[in-house]
Amino acid sequence: MREVREIIVASKRHTLALFGGTFDPIHLGHLRMALELRQVLEFDEMRLLPSHQPAHRQTPGVSSRQRSEMLALALEGCEELTLDERELLRGGATYTVDTLEELRSELGGEASISFCMGLDSLLSLHRWHRWERLLELAHLVVVTRPGWHLPDRDSEEHGPLAELLENHRGTVADLHTRACGCLLLREQTMLPISATQIRELIKSGQSPRYLLPATVLQYIEDHRLYTEVASGDPQ
């Protein structure tokens, strides 16, 4: 680890990490994962990116503005994590490649950009819009659970992903010495919390307390979100 830190110090390359999602709603599992990645991988910045209209999953039942407001509440007092609303402001379907192109244009070619995702997202990466372009713009940091398995090279569906891993597998030092192009696998024990679980608890009249920040729970209760009578405007 000392050698890695020496490389990081010598490179002096600004490192930005992005953690995207619907955050419907934001919960402690999201927050803990983002904070741990920032600290362990020593990123200069970690931004949370709420998506507007996710292209690969059902549109959330509450508005993008409400999801962003809950995220802002969750991040109050945490200087290590920040909110980036660019995907909400851009509107339309949310494509990660568009966000990375926008950021690369803003930051130039020298900054290191890392897009963080879970293993489930990696396994569907070949269905993302212009997915081959992603590593030309950023690194991909894939958070895996203990006991995970790499995509099978002989699989018709996952073969391209196995090849991607073989050709672009990187190290922590690469995130600090290169601007883009590496795929890092990071095994991490994640809190067993899901947004789906929280929504189902609320819908059934049970409390999700201690699964998400108290300020977020208060917001949900004040706006009657995730109940059958709730009507967040899904923009």
- Distance in Å from the first CA to the final CA of the chain: 45
> What distance in Å separates the CA atoms of residue 21 and residue 52, rounded to the nearest whole number?
9
Q: Is 232 domain-assigned?
A: no
Q: Is 63 domain-assigned?
A: yes
Average pLDDT for 111-131: 90
Q: Is 216 domain-assigned?
A: no
Point out the least confidently predicted range of 16-30, 35-49, 218-232. Answer: 218-232
> What distance in Å separates the CA atoms of residue 66 and residue 25, rounded to the nearest whole number?
9
Point out the least confidently predicted range of 11-20, 56-65, 172-181. Answer: 56-65
| pLDDT of 230 strictly over 50 | no
**Residues 26-47: pLDDT tens digits?**
999 999 999 999 999 999 999 9
Q: Is 235 domain-assigned?
A: no
Q: Is 230 domain-assigned?
A: no
- Identify which has the larger pLDDT, 93 or 31: 31
| pLDDT of 233 strictly over 50 | no
Q: Is 172 domain-assigned?
A: yes
Closest CA to 77 of 219, 208, 213: 213
Q: Is 225 domain-assigned?
A: no
With residue 164 as reference, give the H or E element that holds it. helix 159-168
| pLDDT of 111 strictly over 60 | yes
> What pLDDT does residue 94 have?
83
With residue 53 as reference, give the H or E element that holds it. strand 53-54
- Identify which has the larger pLDDT, 148 or 19: 19
**Residues 72-84: pLDDT tens digits?**
999 999 999 999 9
CATH code of residue 84: 3.40.50.620
In which band, very low, low, confident or very high, does the pLDDT at 234 lie, cut at 50, 70 and 90?
A: very low
| pLDDT of 231 strictly over 50 | no
Q: Is 208 domain-assigned?
A: no
Read off the amino acid at residue 19. F
Omega within 30 of 0 (cis) for the link into 146: no
* DSSP for residue 151: P
> What pLDDT does residue 198 have?
97
In which band, very low, low, confident or very high, does the pLDDT at 89 lie, cut at 50, 70 and 90?
A: confident
Predicted TM-score of the model (pTM): 0.87
> What pLDDT does residue 162 have?
82
| pLDDT of 21 strictly over 50 | yes
Domain of residue 86: give its range. Answer: 2-193
> What pLDDT does residue 158 have?
66
Average pLDDT for 156-161: 69
> What distance in Å separates the CA atoms of residue 78 and residue 200, rounded to the nearest whole number?
28
> What pLDDT does residue 4 have?
56
CA-based Rg of the chain, rounded to a whole angstrom? 18
- Identify which has the larger pLDDT, 187 or 68: 68
What domain count does the chain have? 1
**Edge-first strand listing for the sheet containing 82-83:** 82-83, 45-50, 15-21, 112-118, 139-144, 183-187
